Protein backbone atom coordinates (compact mmCIF):
# COMPACT_ATOMS: atom_id res chain seq x y z
CA UNK A 1 0.00 0.00 0.00
CA UNK A 2 1.51 3.31 -1.07
CA UNK A 3 2.09 5.77 1.74
CA UNK A 4 0.05 8.93 1.51
CA UNK A 5 3.16 11.09 1.58
CA UNK A 6 4.40 9.53 -1.66
CA UNK A 7 1.17 10.04 -3.55
CA UNK A 8 1.21 12.63 -6.32
CA UNK A 9 -1.93 14.63 -5.63
CA UNK A 10 -4.13 15.59 -8.58
CA UNK A 11 -5.99 18.02 -6.31
CA UNK A 12 -4.91 20.21 -3.38
CA UNK A 13 -2.80 18.13 -1.04
CA UNK A 14 -4.38 17.34 2.35
CA UNK A 15 -3.27 19.71 5.11
CA UNK A 16 -2.39 16.81 7.42
CA UNK A 17 -0.51 13.89 5.92
CA UNK A 18 0.19 10.57 7.61
CA UNK A 19 3.93 10.35 7.00
CA UNK A 20 5.78 7.13 7.95
CA UNK A 21 6.50 6.98 11.68
CA UNK A 22 3.89 9.64 12.47
CA UNK A 23 1.12 8.87 14.95
CA UNK A 24 -1.26 9.52 12.04
CA UNK A 25 0.21 6.54 10.22
CA UNK A 26 -1.84 3.62 11.54
CA UNK A 27 -0.29 0.16 11.88
CA UNK A 28 -2.84 -1.67 9.74
CA UNK A 29 -1.32 -5.07 10.43
CA UNK A 30 -1.88 -4.61 14.18
CA UNK A 31 -5.50 -3.48 13.80
CA UNK A 32 -6.37 -6.19 11.32
CA UNK A 33 -4.92 -8.74 13.80
CA UNK A 34 -7.19 -7.21 16.48
CA UNK A 35 -10.17 -7.49 14.13
CA UNK A 36 -9.47 -11.15 13.39
CA UNK A 37 -8.51 -12.25 16.92
CA UNK A 38 -10.87 -14.50 18.91
CA UNK A 39 -12.94 -12.35 21.27
CA UNK A 40 -15.40 -12.76 24.10
CA UNK A 41 -18.61 -10.80 24.49
CA UNK A 42 -18.48 -8.91 27.82
CA UNK A 43 -21.72 -6.97 27.59
CA UNK A 44 -24.53 -6.08 25.25
CA UNK A 45 -26.83 -3.06 25.25
CA UNK A 46 -29.83 -2.41 23.04
CA UNK A 47 -30.61 1.26 22.55
CA UNK A 48 -34.34 1.48 21.76
CA UNK A 49 -35.63 3.97 19.17
CA UNK A 50 -35.46 7.65 20.21
CA UNK A 51 -33.37 7.12 23.34
CA UNK A 52 -29.74 6.96 24.46
CA UNK A 53 -27.56 4.91 26.75
CA UNK A 54 -24.09 5.47 28.17
CA UNK A 55 -21.64 2.65 28.87
CA UNK A 56 -17.98 2.07 29.76
CA UNK A 57 -15.52 0.52 27.31
CA UNK A 58 -12.18 -0.46 28.91
CA UNK A 59 -8.94 0.18 26.99
CA UNK A 60 -8.09 -2.58 24.44
CA UNK A 61 -11.72 -3.72 24.29
CA UNK A 62 -13.71 -3.60 21.07
CA UNK A 63 -17.09 -1.90 20.80
CA UNK A 64 -19.36 -2.85 17.94
CA UNK A 65 -22.44 -0.85 16.91
CA UNK A 66 -24.92 -2.58 14.62
CA UNK A 67 -28.36 -2.11 13.09
CA UNK A 68 -30.20 -5.42 13.72
CA UNK A 69 -33.51 -4.26 12.20
CA UNK A 70 -32.20 -2.01 9.45
CA UNK A 71 -31.27 1.61 8.91
CA UNK A 72 -30.93 3.94 11.90
CA UNK A 73 -28.44 6.71 12.53
CA UNK A 74 -26.69 7.07 15.88
CA UNK A 75 -25.09 10.11 17.53
CA UNK A 76 -21.95 9.17 19.45
CA UNK A 77 -20.14 11.01 22.28
CA UNK A 78 -16.89 9.77 23.91
CA UNK A 79 -15.04 10.74 27.09
CA UNK A 80 -12.02 9.42 28.95
CA UNK A 81 -13.63 7.31 31.69
CA UNK A 82 -11.49 8.82 34.47
CA UNK A 83 -11.34 12.38 33.17
CA UNK A 84 -14.39 13.63 31.25
CA UNK A 85 -12.55 16.86 30.39
CA UNK A 86 -10.82 14.72 27.78
CA UNK A 87 -13.49 14.17 25.17
CA UNK A 88 -13.91 13.55 21.47
CA UNK A 89 -12.98 16.49 19.20
CA UNK A 90 -14.99 16.18 15.99
CA UNK A 91 -13.51 19.13 14.10
CA UNK A 92 -9.84 18.21 14.61
CA UNK A 93 -10.69 14.60 13.73
CA UNK A 94 -12.25 15.90 10.51
CA UNK A 95 -8.93 17.58 9.67
CA UNK A 96 -6.63 14.76 10.72
CA UNK A 97 -8.75 12.00 9.15
CA UNK A 98 -11.63 13.05 6.87
CA UNK A 99 -15.15 14.48 6.82
CA UNK A 100 -16.46 10.89 7.02
CA UNK A 101 -14.62 8.11 8.75
CA UNK A 102 -14.08 4.42 8.11
CA UNK A 103 -11.69 1.57 8.86
CA UNK A 104 -8.23 2.70 10.13
CA UNK A 105 -9.41 6.22 10.93
CA UNK A 106 -9.10 7.36 14.54
CA UNK A 107 -11.26 9.60 16.68
CA UNK A 108 -9.11 12.20 18.49
CA UNK A 109 -9.55 13.93 21.84
CA UNK A 110 -9.66 17.65 22.59
CA UNK A 111 -6.84 19.89 23.83
CA UNK A 112 -4.57 19.59 25.69
CA UNK A 113 -4.82 15.81 25.30
CA UNK A 114 -4.97 15.36 21.52
CA UNK A 115 -4.55 11.61 21.35
CA UNK A 116 -6.53 8.77 19.80
CA UNK A 117 -9.61 7.70 21.76
CA UNK A 118 -10.54 4.88 19.38
CA UNK A 119 -9.34 3.38 16.10
CA UNK A 120 -11.96 2.07 13.68
CA UNK A 121 -11.17 -1.57 12.91
CA UNK A 122 -14.32 -2.73 11.12
CA UNK A 123 -16.97 -1.08 8.95
CA UNK A 124 -19.43 -3.09 6.87
CA UNK A 125 -20.29 0.12 4.95
CA UNK A 126 -16.66 0.91 4.06
CA UNK A 127 -17.37 0.37 0.37
CA UNK A 128 -20.34 2.77 0.36
CA UNK A 129 -18.08 5.30 -1.35
CA UNK A 130 -19.79 8.43 -2.65
CA UNK A 131 -23.49 8.80 -3.46
CA UNK A 132 -24.67 10.47 -6.68
CA UNK A 133 -25.01 13.69 -4.66
CA UNK A 134 -21.57 13.46 -3.13
CA UNK A 135 -22.75 12.04 0.20
CA UNK A 136 -20.49 9.78 2.27
CA UNK A 137 -21.15 7.60 5.32
CA UNK A 138 -20.33 8.03 9.08
CA UNK A 139 -20.57 11.79 9.30
CA UNK A 140 -18.32 14.30 11.04
CA UNK A 141 -19.67 17.34 9.18
CA UNK A 142 -22.84 17.75 11.20
CA UNK A 143 -23.73 17.47 14.83
CA UNK A 144 -26.58 16.24 17.02
CA UNK A 145 -30.17 17.47 16.71
CA UNK A 146 -31.20 19.55 19.74
CA UNK A 147 -34.30 21.16 21.23
CA UNK A 148 -32.87 24.70 21.06
CA UNK A 149 -32.40 24.81 17.29
CA UNK A 150 -35.75 23.05 16.97
CA UNK A 151 -37.44 25.80 18.99
CA UNK A 152 -35.57 28.45 17.04
CA UNK A 153 -36.63 27.07 13.66
CA UNK A 154 -40.13 25.79 14.36
CA UNK A 155 -41.30 27.22 17.69
CA UNK A 156 -42.05 23.67 18.85
CA UNK A 157 -40.88 21.90 21.99
CA UNK A 158 -39.61 18.34 21.68
CA UNK A 159 -37.70 16.54 24.46
CA UNK A 160 -36.15 13.54 22.69
CA UNK A 161 -33.64 15.03 20.28
CA UNK A 162 -30.19 13.39 20.35
CA UNK A 163 -28.79 16.19 22.53
CA UNK A 164 -31.48 15.63 25.17
CA UNK A 165 -31.18 11.84 24.92
CA UNK A 166 -27.42 12.11 25.48
CA UNK A 167 -27.93 14.48 28.46
CA UNK A 168 -30.26 12.02 30.21
CA UNK A 169 -27.96 9.07 29.48
CA UNK A 170 -24.87 10.59 31.16
CA UNK A 171 -26.49 12.00 34.30
CA UNK A 172 -26.17 8.64 36.15
CA UNK A 173 -22.41 8.80 35.35
CA UNK A 174 -22.04 12.21 37.01
CA UNK A 175 -21.83 14.24 33.80
CA UNK A 176 -23.92 17.27 32.84
CA UNK A 177 -25.50 18.88 29.78
CA UNK A 178 -22.27 20.88 29.31
CA UNK A 179 -20.37 17.60 28.83
CA UNK A 180 -22.33 16.79 25.66
CA UNK A 181 -20.23 17.63 22.60
CA UNK A 182 -20.17 17.42 18.82
CA UNK A 183 -20.80 13.88 17.66
CA UNK A 184 -19.83 11.25 15.17
CA UNK A 185 -23.03 10.37 13.30
CA UNK A 186 -22.69 6.65 12.63
CA UNK A 187 -24.60 5.06 9.72
CA UNK A 188 -25.42 8.60 8.52
CA UNK A 189 -24.80 9.81 4.95
CA UNK A 190 -24.15 13.53 4.53
CA UNK A 191 -22.30 15.95 2.32
CA UNK A 192 -22.04 19.53 1.18
CA UNK A 193 -23.96 20.53 -1.94
CA UNK A 194 -22.77 22.83 -4.71
CA UNK A 195 -23.57 25.83 -2.53
CA UNK A 196 -21.63 24.39 0.40
CA UNK A 197 -24.88 23.62 2.25
CA UNK A 198 -25.01 20.59 4.53
CA UNK A 199 -27.37 17.83 3.38
CA UNK A 200 -28.39 14.40 4.68
CA UNK A 201 -29.48 11.29 2.79
CA UNK A 202 -31.28 8.17 3.99
CA UNK A 203 -29.06 5.75 5.89
CA UNK A 204 -27.88 2.81 3.74
CA UNK A 205 -27.53 0.46 6.75
CA UNK A 206 -29.14 -2.96 6.33
CA UNK A 207 -29.96 -5.43 9.09
CA UNK A 208 -26.62 -6.55 10.51
CA UNK A 209 -24.49 -3.67 9.25
CA UNK A 210 -21.87 -2.62 11.81
CA UNK A 211 -18.97 -0.38 12.70
CA UNK A 212 -16.29 -1.45 15.23
CA UNK A 213 -13.89 0.57 17.34
CA UNK A 214 -10.78 -0.46 19.30
CA UNK A 215 -10.64 1.50 22.58
CA UNK A 216 -7.27 3.28 22.87
CA UNK A 217 -8.01 4.33 26.49
CA UNK A 218 -10.62 3.63 29.18
CA UNK A 219 -13.75 5.24 27.79
CA UNK A 220 -17.25 6.31 28.63
CA UNK A 221 -19.39 6.37 25.50
CA UNK A 222 -22.97 7.50 24.94
CA UNK A 223 -25.05 6.81 21.86
CA UNK A 224 -28.43 8.28 20.88
CA UNK A 225 -30.77 6.65 18.38
CA UNK A 226 -31.78 9.80 16.49
CA UNK A 227 -35.53 10.60 16.46
CA UNK A 228 -35.06 11.15 12.71
CA UNK A 229 -34.53 7.36 12.47
CA UNK A 230 -33.01 6.46 9.13
CA UNK A 231 -33.44 10.09 7.95
CA UNK A 232 -35.61 9.01 5.01
CA UNK A 233 -38.37 11.34 6.27
CA UNK A 234 -36.37 13.83 8.31
CA UNK A 235 -38.12 17.02 9.39
CA UNK A 236 -37.91 19.28 12.40
CA UNK A 237 -39.98 18.56 15.48
CA UNK A 238 -41.67 15.44 16.65
CA UNK A 239 -42.84 14.48 13.17
CA UNK A 240 -44.43 11.25 14.33
CA UNK A 241 -48.06 12.20 14.72
CA UNK A 242 -49.24 12.57 11.16
CA UNK A 243 -48.64 9.92 8.54
CA UNK A 244 -46.68 11.11 5.52
CA UNK A 245 -46.54 9.62 2.06
CA UNK A 246 -48.16 6.18 2.11
CA UNK A 247 -49.17 6.73 5.73
CA UNK A 248 -45.52 6.43 6.83
CA UNK A 249 -44.46 8.77 9.62
CA UNK A 250 -40.98 9.57 10.90
CA UNK A 251 -41.56 7.22 13.83
CA UNK A 252 -41.83 4.33 11.33
CA UNK A 253 -38.24 5.11 10.29
CA UNK A 254 -36.90 4.70 13.84
CA UNK A 255 -35.11 1.52 14.94
CA UNK A 256 -32.85 0.27 17.70
CA UNK A 257 -29.05 0.13 17.63
CA UNK A 258 -27.19 -2.76 19.27
CA UNK A 259 -23.96 -2.18 21.20
CA UNK A 260 -21.64 -5.09 21.98
CA UNK A 261 -18.43 -4.83 23.99
CA UNK A 262 -15.80 -7.53 23.47
CA UNK A 263 -12.53 -8.45 25.10
CA UNK A 264 -9.73 -10.10 23.09
CA UNK A 265 -9.56 -13.76 24.11
CA UNK A 266 -6.65 -14.80 26.36
CA UNK A 267 -5.23 -17.03 23.60
CA UNK A 268 -4.65 -13.95 21.44
CA UNK A 269 -3.55 -11.42 24.12
CA UNK A 270 -0.02 -11.56 22.74
CA UNK A 271 -1.18 -9.23 19.98
CA UNK A 272 -1.46 -6.51 22.63
CA UNK A 273 2.02 -6.93 24.12
CA UNK A 274 3.44 -3.84 22.37
CA UNK A 275 0.26 -1.76 22.55
CA UNK A 276 0.48 1.34 24.72
CA UNK A 277 -2.03 4.04 25.51
CA UNK A 278 -0.93 7.14 23.55
CA UNK A 279 0.56 10.02 25.53
CA UNK A 280 -0.56 13.58 25.05
CA UNK A 281 1.84 15.80 23.04
CA UNK A 282 4.72 17.02 25.20
CA UNK A 283 4.09 20.73 24.76
CA UNK A 284 5.24 22.29 28.02
CA UNK A 285 5.00 25.97 27.12
CA UNK A 286 2.47 28.19 28.79
CA UNK A 287 1.15 29.80 25.61
CA UNK A 288 3.85 32.42 26.03
CA UNK A 289 2.80 33.35 29.56
CA UNK A 290 5.13 33.67 32.53
CA UNK A 291 3.01 33.40 35.64
CA UNK A 292 4.78 34.50 38.87
CA UNK A 293 4.48 32.17 41.86
CA UNK A 294 4.28 35.12 44.24
CA UNK A 295 5.82 38.42 45.13
CA UNK A 296 9.42 39.02 44.05
CA UNK A 297 11.34 40.00 47.17
CA UNK A 298 14.73 41.63 46.62
ZN1 LIG B 1 -30.66 13.32 16.19
What's the 144 CA to ligand 1 centre distance in angstroms?
5
d(CA 126, CA 32): 14
CA of 214 to the centre of ligand 1 (A): 24
Distance 248 CA to ligand 1 centre (A): 19
Q: Residues 190, 201: contact at Cβ < 8 Å?
A: yes
266 CA to centre of ligand 1 in angstroms: 38
Closest CA to 73 of 263, 234, 182: 234
Write down the mean pLDDT value for the chain: 92
Instruction: Say what the pLDDT of residue 243 is.
Output: 45
- pLDDT score of 272: 97
Cβ neighbours, 10 Å, residue 24: 15
| CA 121 / ligand 1 centre spacing (Å) | 25
**Ligand 1 ion: residues within 5 Å (CB):** 145, 162, 226
Q: Give the 3-state secondary structure of residue 132.
A: coil
**CA angle 232–184–163, rounded 5-degree value:** 75
- The helix or strand, by DSSP H or E, that contains position 21, with its residue range, turns out to be none
% the chain with pLDDT above 70:
93
Helix (H, G, I), strand (E, B), or coil: what is residue 281?
coil
CA 141 – CA 94 distance, rounded (Å): 8
Domain ranges of the chain: 40-238+248-265
pLDDT in tens, 199-221: 999 999 999 999 999 999 999 99
Return the pLDDT at 248. 64
Residue 48 CA to ligand 1 centre (angstroms): 14
Amino acid sequence: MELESRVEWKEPQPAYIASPGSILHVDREFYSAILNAPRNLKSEVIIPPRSAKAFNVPATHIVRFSTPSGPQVGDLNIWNAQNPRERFWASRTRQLQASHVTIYDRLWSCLPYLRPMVTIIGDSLSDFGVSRWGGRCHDLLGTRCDPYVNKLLTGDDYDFHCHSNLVRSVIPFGLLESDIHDVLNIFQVTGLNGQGKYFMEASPAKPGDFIEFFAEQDLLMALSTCPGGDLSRWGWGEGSAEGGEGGKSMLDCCREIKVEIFEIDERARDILKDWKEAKRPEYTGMHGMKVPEGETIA
